[in-house]
Structure 1
Amino acid sequence: MSFESETDTAASPGNAPQTPFLKRFLRAAPTRPGQTYGVPGEGRTVGISVAAVLIVLILWQVVTMAGLVAPLFLPSPVQVVEKFIAILGNGYTGAPLWLHVLVSAGRVFAAFALACVIGIPLGLAMGMNPVMRGLFDPFLEFYRPIPPLAYLPLMIIWFGIGETSKVLLIFLAVLAPVTLGARAGVRSVAIEQIHAAYSLGATRGQVLREVVLRAATPEILTSLRIGVGFGWTTLVAAEMVASTQGLGYMVLSASQFLQTSTVLVGIILIGAIAWIFDLAMRALERRIVPWKGRM
């Protein structure tokens, strides 16, 4: 038997060695249109996640109760909950907790909306037009890996210490992933789909709307989820200068006075809000692009 035939035989699904996990995965392959190609036991993921969180919380409580870590460095979960209740009732630095949450969310989502308005059309244009890609790609790729703290001084020098510099700093963090995601979505469209649409009499606008934009939508939604995560990551940096309200301000201010429980409350709130938004984006994704992940 030739080398080619041996390779083909060994690589065929029927002859390839199958681990127990691989056998279960292959048995879960979709057998009818619209069925999701998923791993068995995927429905237990939520239960496993809840159990993992509970285990970590229990270990955290045990470690702190045993005195293995000083409360200054790591307060117990009970202390963090007590601090959250105290801030919820009394506020922080003269402002109620809901105001800190609202101010931070307003900054992030204002920057996120601006990034969507600019980044999605720009990414679509870069994906469809090589001239636009040549014009904007070097600048996006240059500033994308630069951490926000590096250009925070420029934002302050150019736009002052008000809300504009804070929103623009978050906007720059969100813009790159949104734009590049839209561009990647356009580049993933099969040329056969475009030719088929034109052969059926579709106009250029119909091709852009019904073929290109539909095919790019899954990538765009994924990039939005990634982008808003960068926005919340940049929030603390944006609220470093001349801020008196916001979750990032609360974290930074509390850290200066070694109020670790308050720092943890702010971190948990930032993560919880970002997680809730991500869940909402996933639900929107399932509604807008139900075909994603299906075979």
Structure 2
Amino acid sequence: MKEKYITASVIIAIFLAWYGITELKLVSPALVPSPKSVVSVFFSILHNDYKGISLWRHLSVSMGRLLAAFLFAALIAVPLGLASGYNSKIRAVFEPLVEFYRPLPPLAYYTLIILWMGIDDPSKIMLLFLAAFAPMYIACVSAMRMVKNDYVNSALTLGASKWQVFFYVSFPACLPGIFTGIRTAVGVAYTTLVAAEMVAAVSGIGWLVLDASRYLRSDIIFMGIFMMGITGIALDQALRLLESKIVFWKGKE
């Protein structure tokens, strides 16, 4: 409970400092807008749209791209990562490829993706897919390799087959690591969202922020950043809740 009070105090202190700086005009409003102007522009765009598209439409488009990429990444990275962690030959095939592209900045290969897939949503989803795939794959490999041999040997001693060992021992033991990878992947993909919406986009919360920056609308930029931060926290909390329901034994070994 004390931690929650500390967190709340830090957030309140930051907002008070922001309010004080803008009220005393220590910084130009073009650089740091006041909290009042950010709230005002939020309600203005909420009622009057931005470039003819509603605010919720901008947000839903971005969330659609993000969730589509995340689902594709989870469907491929989780089984492939678990298989790579279980079998060194499979890992030898895929790990060098993942480790090669993982540190590359998204914009470095985004142009190639656009050339191959066009400028519409498929290229944006592919970029987010690649951003989410690597951390998810690596977390699954690590989780599988850290399964305790005592668990596996105990199951084999009791007559379990290799498939039974995987589904009833190894996979449940990997779930905490898998969820860690999933949460990390969502965060990495979200940070790539702005890059994905930089080229040939006319909607999306990332595009909204970039478009506002062309006109030095710092109030809209701040509003977009807050929306991305809040939705990012909401997604992470939803994953935490899902993890607590599925991996209910975590921390109780």
Give the TM interval when normalised to the shorter protein.
over 0.9
What residue number does 1:233 align with? 191
| Map of 1:282 onto structure 2 | 240
Question: 1:108 aligned to 2:66?
Answer: yes
Partner of 2:7 in structure 1? 49
Find the counterpart in structure 2 of residue 153 from structure 1: 111
Residue 202 of structure 1 deviates from its aligned partner by: 1.1
Aligned to 2:130: 172
Instruction: Indicate the residue corresponding to 2:202 in structure 1.
Output: 244
Unaligned runs of 5+ in 1: 1-42
Query: Structure 1 residue 147: deviation in Å?
Result: 1.2
How many positions carry a matched residue from both structures? 253
Question: Which range is displaced more, 284-293 or 249-258?
Answer: 284-293
Q: Which residue identity does 1:82 align to in structure 2?
A: S
From 82, 92, 97, the equivalent of 2:55 is 97
For 1:273 and 1:214, how far apart are their aligned partners in 2? 29
**Deviation string for 1:6-53 (max 9, x for gaps)?**
xxxxxxxxxxxxxxxxxxxxxxxxxxxxxxxxxxxxx22222211211
How far does residue 60 in structure 1 lie from its aligned partner after superposition?
Answer: 0.3
> Alignment partner for residue 23 of structure 2, among 59, 65, 79?
65
Q: CA deviation at 1:290?
A: 2.2
Deviations 1:211-247 (A, max 9, x none): 1101110000011000000111000000001111100
| Equivalent position SS for 1:285 | helix
| Counterpart Cα distance in 2 of 1:99 and 1:218 | 34
- After superposition, residues 1-295 of structure 1 pair within 5 angstroms as 43-294=1-252
- The alignment-based identity, stated in percent, is 43
More helix by share: 2
List, as ranges, runs of 4+ consecutive aligned residues in structure 1 with deviation greater than 3 Å.
none
> If you compute each CA radius of gyration, which structure gives the higher value, 1 or 2?
1
Structure 2 unaligned residues grouped into runs of 5+: none
Letter in 1 for 2:212: A
CA deviation map 1:256-282 (0-9, x unaligned): 010011011111111111100101111
Name the CA distance, whole Å, in 2 between partners of 1:294 and 1:55.
36
Instruction: Output the CA distance in 2 between the equivalents of 1:91 and 1:47.
Output: 37
SS at 1:293 equivalent: coil
Cα offset, 1:291, TM superposition: 2.4
| Aligned mates of 1:202, 1:271 — CA distance in 2 | 46
